[in-house]
Structure 1
């Protein structure tokens, strides 16, 4: 029975009725995070082209670019931001009824991670 209960909570009608979507602060933070993540992935997909040579994939302020890799590794930051947004949203939805402040911080943290990943991805795309 626990599996069917879990699956019924994932139904779109049930998700649309969650109280976190009725809260304006939570909804705004979630929409900002989702919008920035979409912009990040679209930007990377539009600017990044398949190449046969290694491209910079890691940067340290002390030594500069210290790792080279295949062109598709620059998608990692965008996918990381999406994963953080999904995880933080799930945790925020779980905590919303008990601790709204923690829920707000999780969603705002997801938006902050998305913005930082967008900035870093933009820098890598400019170099590649």
Structure 2
């Protein structure tokens, strides 16, 4: 009976030791992967990347607002790492190229994808 209790205690200690070691390694790998993610993104954390994308988006909207000839009410802007996608509708086909050129001129924009279309009048 004493031998069985001794084996149970020894087995319990061994399982606890193994699980603590595995937990410590898991925590170390999680820290290493977080460090790798920061390094891979050029030193920016996920939060900083989101803030930079939002700031670029605001800069694009501000640039469009400066041009009174552009009806930017139905234009959506998505920014991700310098790449900007503009979508929505404009009242005139000539505004598609104008909007694209304005966005390309914004500091920090590396490429522009336009998914703009001409707004159809009601009833047509």
Asked if Structure 1 and Structure 2 have the same fold, meaning a TM-score greater than 0.5 normalized by the shorter chain, the answer is no
Which protein has the larger Cα radius of gyration, Structure 1 or Structure 2?
A: 2
Relative to its length, the structure with more helix (as a share) is: 1
Relative to its length, the structure with more strand (as a share) is: 2
TM-score of the pair, normalised by structure 1? 0.26
TM-score of the pair, normalised by structure 2? 0.27
